[in-house]
Amino acid sequence: MKRLLLSAAALSLISGCQAASTQTAPQPNDTPKAKNVILFIGDGMSVSTITAARIYEGQSQGKTGEEHSLSFEAFPNVAMVKTYNLDAQVPDSAGTASAMNTGLVTGIGAINIQPGNEAAGCRDETRSGPVRIIDLAEAAGLSTGIVSSARITHATPAAVYAYAESRGFERYKDMPKGALSIGCRDIAEQLVTSDVDIALGGGRRAFEKYSRGSAVSLIDMWTQRGDDYVYADDHKSLKALNLSSGQQVLGLFSNSHLPYHVDRKASKDPSLTELTTAAITNLEARDTGYFLMVEAGRIDHAHHQTNAYRALTDTVELAAAVQTAYEATNPNETLILVTADHGHVFTIAGYPERGNPILGLAKRTNRDGERKPLEDADGLPYTTLGYHNGPNQRDDTLLTDNAVQAQDYLQQTSVRMESETHSGEDVILYGTGPGSERVKGSFHQAKIFDIIVDSLDIRGAQEVE
C-alpha cells in the first residue's frame, strides 16, 4: 500500500481549497462513501456537442435522433458547471483541469500552479504546490490511474499528476534553462517518477530519448523501477499484459495524440473504451479503492479544426466508455462523474425539421411534400451545424448532402481565425453512485475536487507513522 507524506504547508492548502472554490458545502456524516471514483472528461464537450452527438448516435441507430440519449444522460444527478479561469473569461484545459484536481481556481495555461508559487514542485522551491486529488488518494492507500486519447502529458491528464508553470513543458526540450536550473522537471518525467499505477494514452515522443531532447529514456526509467513496472506500445502488447496481476502499467500508443476513433486501426490503436476497460481491470484487481481519470481528448481537437463529424464520433465513443465503466463496476461502491473542461463555439441552428441528418444541410418539407434545403439571405443552402469562429471560409461548391456529411468536411464559420476557439459558457456535470447527490445546482468546476475528495472520505489523509 502506497503512502505519501504531506507537509503541514500542503495540508493547510486543503482547507485553502475550500476558501478558493467558495462553493464547498460540508459532506453530511450519513452520506454513503465511495470506494472508487472515475472522472470522465470530454475535452471541449459543450452542451451543443452533447446534443448533436445524441442526435448523431440516435440517427446511426435508425431513429429520428432527437429522442435518443447518450449513456451518461441517464445518470440521476446533473449540475451546471462554471469554467472560467482565475485570469480568463474563456478558459483553457490547463486551468480548468487544475481546478478540478486541486479545488482552486487556476490561471490559464498553468498546471496546478497558483500565482506567486510558479516554481511549485521544483527542487529549489520550499513551498508546496496545491494538494491534488491524487496526493490525498495515494496517501489514503488508494490506487490511481489515468487514461487519455490525447498525449498523456497534455494539459488535462497532466493536471492529475504534475506541476508546471506552463502546460507546454511536456518534454525536456520544452523546458526553459531557468526552470531547469532550479530543478523543475518536465511533465513526462514527473509522470514516470510518480506513484500512478496505470497510465494509458499517447505522447511517446516525450518519453523516448533524443526525441524528448535528452539522452535519457523515460520508458527505461519506468521499467527499471522494478519487475512489476511494465510498458506497452500498441494494442497487441497491451492485450498481452496480465492486467489483473497488480503490475504498474505505462502504455504509450502513438508519438503524439491517438488517432480519432473513426481513423484508428483496430490491430494497432486501442479505443478509448478498450483503454478504460484495461485501466479498470488493473485497478479493480488491487481491491484498494481507486481514483481514475479518463479523458476523451480529441473531441477538442476536432472542434478546433471545425470538423464536427470527428467531434461527434469521439463523443459517442466517450459515451461507450462510460457505459462500459458503469457495467464493469459496482454502482454501490463507485462514483462516476462525466463532465467537460470547457466548451467550444459550436452551434446547432437554422430550423431544420425533426429527424433531419444532424451533419446534413438544414431542410424542411414544404406544402407540396417536397423536402427542400433551407436558404440563407443569399439564397444558398447551409448546414445545421456550424462554428462562430475558425479557419474555414464557405465553399458553395461543397454544399451538397454528400459533401457536408463526409468525415473530412469542415463546417462553415462566421469569424475567420487560424483555429476555432473554446467558449466560456457553462458545461454539464453528470453523476451516479455514492456522493453523486451533491451533483446539483450551479457551481464552479473547482467543486468537483470537493465532491470527489469527500465521496472517498480522504480529505484528511496523511502519513501518521
Contact criterion met (CB below 8 Å) for 455 and 33: yes
pLDDT in tens, 130-150: 999 999 999 999 999 999 999
Task: Identify whether 333 is part of a domain.
Answer: yes
Contact criterion met (CB below 8 Å) for 189 and 209: no
Q: How confident is the model at residue 348 (pLDDT cuts 50, 70, 90)?
A: very high
Task: Identify whether 100 is part of a domain.
Answer: yes
pLDDT score recorded for residue 24: 43
Residues 148, 242: one domain?
A: yes
Residues 298, 380: one domain?
A: no
Residues 119, 236: one domain?
A: yes
pLDDT at 10 over 50: no
Task: Identify whether 287 is part of a domain.
Answer: yes
pLDDT score recorded for residue 31: 72
Residues 341, 204: one domain?
A: yes
DSSP secondary structure string for all residues of 1-49? -------HHHHHHHHHHHHHH----PPPTTSPPPSEEEEEEETT--HHH
Residues 79, 108: one domain?
A: yes
Across 20-138, the runs of DSSP E, i.e. the strands, are: 36-42, 77-82
Per 3-state DSSP, the chain is made up of helix, strand and coil in percentages (nearest 5) of 35, 20, 50
Per the structure, how many domains does the chain have? 2
User: Could you give the residue numbers annotated as active site?
Assistant: 93
Residues 279, 265: one domain?
A: yes
Compute the distance between CA of residue 234 and CA of residue 254 in angstroms, rounded to an integer.
Answer: 8
Domain coverage including residue 399: 363-416
Give residue 53's identity as a one-letter amino acid code: A
pLDDT score recorded for residue 462: 54
Task: Identify whether 358 is part of a domain.
Answer: no
Residues 212, 285: one domain?
A: yes
- SS3 of residue 76 by DSSP: coil
Contact criterion met (CB below 8 Å) for 38 and 464: no
Residues 286, 387: one domain?
A: no
pTM of the full structure: 0.93
φ/ψ (deg, to 5) at 380: -110, 150
Residues 396, 330: one domain?
A: no
How far CA 464 is from CA of 5, 9, 16, 105, 294, in Å, comes to 8, 16, 22, 30, 31
Contact criterion met (CB below 8 Å) for 192 and 207: yes
pLDDT score recorded for residue 459: 94
Task: Identify whether 230 is part of a domain.
Answer: yes
CB count in 10 Å sphere of residue 66: 14
pLDDT score recorded for residue 18: 38
pLDDT in tens, 247-285: 999 999 999 999 999 999 988 999 999 999 999 999 999
pLDDT at 6 over 80: no
Task: Identify whether 288 is part of a domain.
Answer: yes
Task: Identify whether 202 is part of a domain.
Answer: yes
pLDDT score recorded for residue 199: 99
Which grid coordinates belong to 364? Answer: 424542411
Q: How confident is the model at residue 314 (pLDDT cuts 50, 70, 90)?
A: very high
pLDDT score recorded for residue 16: 39
Residues 258, 381: one domain?
A: no
Residues 182, 317: one domain?
A: yes
CATH of the domain at 46: 3.40.720.10
Task: Identify whether 461 is part of a domain.
Answer: no
Residues 205, 334: one domain?
A: yes
